[in-house]
C-alpha cells in the first residue's frame, strides 16, 4: 500500500487513484485485528479480557500521541526538516511538520493518504510488544511503551524510510538505485515492532510460574 502512496505524481492524484488507495487502506485494520487476536491467544484464557482491553487501549494511545506529536516528526505534511551535511551531501534525520495535525486539510491528497497509512502502521507496531509481554506486562506499562513508540521511535523510522530521510537518500547520495525501500512496512512497522518486543521481553523476563525453579544438588 505504501508503494502506491510513494509514487511520484505530477499535479494532483486522480479520483480513481484516490479511491483505489483509500480502498486498499481499508483492508489494513483487518491485519491489526488479526494481531490483536494473536495477542489474546498468546496468554492464558483467564487473561483474555485484559489482553483485548490492552489491544484497544494501546491502539488508542498510539493514535492520539502520533496525531499530537509523532506525525510532525515524520514530516509527511510539512516542508521543513532537520538535516546535516557531510562531504557536500545532505542527510535528513528528522521531519519538522506542524504539531496537532495543523494544516492537514490543505495538504495534498497523496500526503493525507500517506498519513492515514502511517496511523495504521503505528497501530500495528505497538501491538507487537504487547503480545510478547502477555501475562506479565501491566496495562499502564503497555500504554507507556506505545506512547514512546508513537511519539519518537516510529516517527524517526518513518521519516528515514518513507519521508525521504537519510536511508531513502542512500540512492541519491551513493548511487544505490532508489535507496532503502520499504513498500509494505516490513521494516518501519513489523521489524520495529519486533525489535521492541524483544527488548520488552528481555526486560520483563519469563512469566511467573512458566519455568520451574532449578533443583539444587543434595550432598
pLDDT in tens, 66-124: 999 999 999 887 667 788 788 778 888 888 888 888 888 778 888 888 899 999 999 99
Residues 5 and 21 sit within 8 Å (Cβ to Cβ): yes
CATH of 14-204, one of 1.10.3430.10, 1.10.1370.40, 3.50.50.60, 3.30.1340.30: 1.10.3430.10
Question: Which residue, among 10, 11, 19, 9, has the nearest Cα to 113 in the 3D structure?
Answer: 19
Give the rounded percent of residues in the chain with a pLDDT score beyond 70: 87
Instruction: Tell me what pLDDT residue 209 has.
Output: 64
Q: Which of 173, 57, 42, 179 is nearest to 126 (CA)?
A: 57
Q: What is the distance between the alpha carbons of residues 192 and 9, in angstroms, rounded to a whole number?
A: 29
CB 91 within 8 A of CB 84: yes
The C-alpha cell 487501549 sits at: 57
What whole-number distance in Å separates Cα of residue 39 and Cα of residue 135? 10
What ranges do the domains of the chain cover?
Answer: 14-204
The CB-side HSE value for 53 (13 A sphere, CA atoms) comes to 10
- Band (20; pLDDT cuts 50, 70, 90): confident
3-state secondary structure of 122: helix
Q: Which three cell numbers stand for residue 90?
A: 545532505
- pTM for this one? 0.81
Amino acid at each position: 500500500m505504501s508503494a502506491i502512496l510513494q509514487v511520484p505524481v505530477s499535479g494532483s492524484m486522480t479520483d480513481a487513484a484516490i479511491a483505489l488507495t483509500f480502498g486498499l487502506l481499508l483492508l489494513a485494520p483487518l491485519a491489526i485485528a488479526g494481531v490483536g487476536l494473536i495477542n489474546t491467544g498468546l496468554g492464558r484464557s483467564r487473561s483474555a479480557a485484559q489482553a483485548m482491553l490492552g489491544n484497544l487501549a494501546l491502539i488508542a494511545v498510539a493514535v492520539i500521541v502520533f496525531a499530537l506529536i509523532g506525525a510532525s516528526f515524520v514530516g509527511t505534511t510539512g516542508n521543513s526538516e532537520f538535516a546535516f551535511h557531510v562531504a557536500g551531501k545532505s542527510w535528513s534525520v528528522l521531519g519538522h511538520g506542524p504539531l496537532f495535525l495543523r494544516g492537514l486539510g490543505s495538504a495534498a491528497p497523496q500526503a493525507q493518504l500517506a498519513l492515514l497509512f502511517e496511523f495504521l502502521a503505528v497501530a500495528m507496531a505497538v501491538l507487537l510488544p504487547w503480545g510478547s509481554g502477555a501475562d506479565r506486562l501491566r496495562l499502564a506499562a503497555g500504554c507507556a511503551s506505545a506512547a514512546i513508540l508513537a511519539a519518537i521511535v516510529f516517527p524517526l523510522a518513518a521519516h528515514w524510510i518513507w519521508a525521504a530521510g537519510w536511508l531513502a537518500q542512500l540512492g541519491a547520495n551513493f548511487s544505490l538505485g532508489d535507496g532503502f525501500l520499504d513498500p509494505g512496512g516490513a521494516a518501519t512497522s513489523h521489524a520495529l515492532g519486533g525489535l521492541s518486543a524483544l527488548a520488552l521481553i528481555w526486560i520483563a523476563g519469563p512469566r511467573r510460574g512458566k519455568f520451574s525453579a532449578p533443583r539444587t544438588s543434595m550432598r
